[in-house]
């Protein structure tokens, strides 16, 4: 599940922000500090960069937790599906019960696809942070390289959109069947009204998530991504 990679990403993001901070401090140690003076662009950028490094590190930690959780869910529901296939073959469960377990398994696996695609985005963010750290450590960093690292992350964020739509669609399909089963059991007195209400709420949430994500699928690249020419003109 690429968890070692995630841990490396988190460590790299934190280390890169520290490298930048230390190089900045060492460059200003000889100067008399005046903390009451108006803030400079460099001071603002240093704090923003350090904060971005912390955020990327935190994001990678959350992704590691999410991947561990999804892996456990995939393993659990794959085992349930295998058991239900055997039960269905023996006519021990209904076709609806089997379909629910199949849809749950499909939803889990599509969530894994989305989670894996998130890795590309985080890796690109870390690559950009590392290049910025190299620049402030005195190394020569071509604009092309830094822009390419950022662009990879921007595009990766958009590329995962279709996978998110498919995952939300699978969630909606699962929620619809789960509600059908809940109403069926409720009509027999084997399930509480509260559980049916919860299943209804789950379906509304799933449907809303699917519709909202699908309707915004084409908007990702409409968000302003500066061209390399626009970036090159800055500071000139």
- pLDDT at residue 10, as a whole number: 53
151, containing H or E segment: helix 143-159
Q: What is the pTM of this model?
A: 0.74
- pLDDT at residue 132, as a whole number: 87
Residue 30 banded pLDDT, cuts 50, 70, 90: very low
* pLDDT above 50 for 188: yes
Do 214 and 164 contact (CB within 8 A), yes or no?
no
* pLDDT above 80 for 13: no
- pLDDT at residue 1, as a whole number: 45
Q: Which residue has the higher pLDDT, 202 or 11?
A: 202
Report the alpha-carbon distance of residue 100 to residue 27 in Å, rounded.
62
Q: Which residue has the higher pLDDT, 230 or 4?
A: 230
Mean pLDDT of all residues in 113-134:
87
Report the alpha-carbon distance of residue 132 to residue 139 in Å, rounded.
9
Domain coordinates of the chain in residue numbers?
A: 3-21+41-220
């Amino acid at each position: 599940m690429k968890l070692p990679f995630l841990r490396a990403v988190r460590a790299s993001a934190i280390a890169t922000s520290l490298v930048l901070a230390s190089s900045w401090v060492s460059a200003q140690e000889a100067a008399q500090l005046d903390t009451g003076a108006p803030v400079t662009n460099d001071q603002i950028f240093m704090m923003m960069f350090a904060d971005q490094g912390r955020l990327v590190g935190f994001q990678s930690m959350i992704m590691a937790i999410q991947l561990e959780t999804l892996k456990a869910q995939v393993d659990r529901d794959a085992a349930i599906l295998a058991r239900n296939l055997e039960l269905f073959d023996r006519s021990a469960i209904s076709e609806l019960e089997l379909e629910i377990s199949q849809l749950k398994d499909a939803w889990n696996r599509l969530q894994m696809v989305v989670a894996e695609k998130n890795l590309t985005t985080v890796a690109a963010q870390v690559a950009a942070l590392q290049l910025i750290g190299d620049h402030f450590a005195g190394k020569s960093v071509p604009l092309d390289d830094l822009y390419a690292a950022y662009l990879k992350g921007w595009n990766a964020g958009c590329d995962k959109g279709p996978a998110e739509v498919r995952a939300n669609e699978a969630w909606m399909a699962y929620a619809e069947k789960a509600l059908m089963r809940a109403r069926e059991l409720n009509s027999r007195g084997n399930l509480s009204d509260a559980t049916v209400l919860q299943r209804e709420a789950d379906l509304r949430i799933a449907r809303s998530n699917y519709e909202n994500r699908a309707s915004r699928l084409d908007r990702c690249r409409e968000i302003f991504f500066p061209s390399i020419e626009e970036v090159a003109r800055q500071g000139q």
